[in-house]
């Protein structure tokens, strides 16, 4: 299977990007696997869903991820901005539940540039910011012909790209190689 390496994946370093859809967490884990440094995952404390290290251990060493909970979206954005600017982490993933204004989005872009880090906002469908460099929609795809040992087939759609190129790809995570592979779409 060919290695997944279009010119726009991984998303540009030193920028902030967005992802939505049921496969958004998988996208974030695959992106974290591309970096050698530490990552920070920021989510609001009221969200009782917990990240399980067993769930992302196939992607990267769980010791490389710091998980932070905040009181609300304002604090989430502040923590993410400071972490991006610090240069101490390679990737900052923030789970957002409300729309992101242009001012907040621009602040995150400037912080990512200053810290030479990548930001990824997991957003609800339809709540993107104009400041985002790219926006992805990631969804799992049922593939009845798949081998049970294969990871779930995903459909990744690039639905916004300030560089202009949009597209759709079907990918699988190769656990042994810790990388994405492109696959043909499943047949109906």
**Each residue of 63-101: pLDDT tens digit?**
999 999 999 999 999 999 999 999 999 999 999 999 899
- Residue 127 in tokens: 């709540």
Distance between CA 58 and CA 186 in Å, rounded?
23
Confidence check: pLDDT of 151 > 70: no
Distance of CA 108 to the CA centre of its chain: 15
Confidence of residue 1 (pLDDT cuts 50, 70, 90): very low
pLDDT in tens, 49-65: 778 888 888 889 999 99
Q: What is the DSSP string of 53-106?
A: HHHHTTTS-GGGEEEEEESSHHHHHHHHHHHHHHSS-SEEEEE--S---HHHHH
């Amino acid at each position: 299977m060919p290695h997944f390496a279009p010119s726009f994946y991984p998303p540009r370093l030193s920028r902030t990007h967005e992802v939505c859809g049921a496969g958004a967490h998988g996208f974030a884990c695959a992106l974290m696997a591309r970096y050698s440094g530490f990552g920070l995952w920021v989510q609001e404390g009221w969200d009782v869903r917990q990240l399980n290290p067993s769930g992302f251990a196939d992607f990267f060493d769980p010791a490389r991820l710091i998980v932070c909970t905040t009181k609300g979206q304002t604090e989430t954005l502040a923590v993410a901005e400071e972490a991006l600017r610090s240069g101490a982490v390679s990737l900052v993933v923030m789970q957002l539940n409300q729309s992101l204004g242009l001012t907040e989005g621009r602040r995150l872009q400037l912080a990512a540039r200053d810290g030479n880090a990548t930001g990824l906002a997991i957003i609800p469908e339809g709540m993107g910011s104009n400041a985002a460099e790219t926006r992805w929609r990631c969804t799992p795809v049922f593939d009845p012909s798949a081998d049970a040992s294969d990871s779930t087939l995903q459909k990744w759609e690039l639905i916004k790209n300030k560089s202009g190129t949009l597209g759709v790809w079907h990918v699988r995570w190769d656990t042994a190689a810790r990388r994405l592979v492109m696959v043909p779409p499943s047949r109906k």
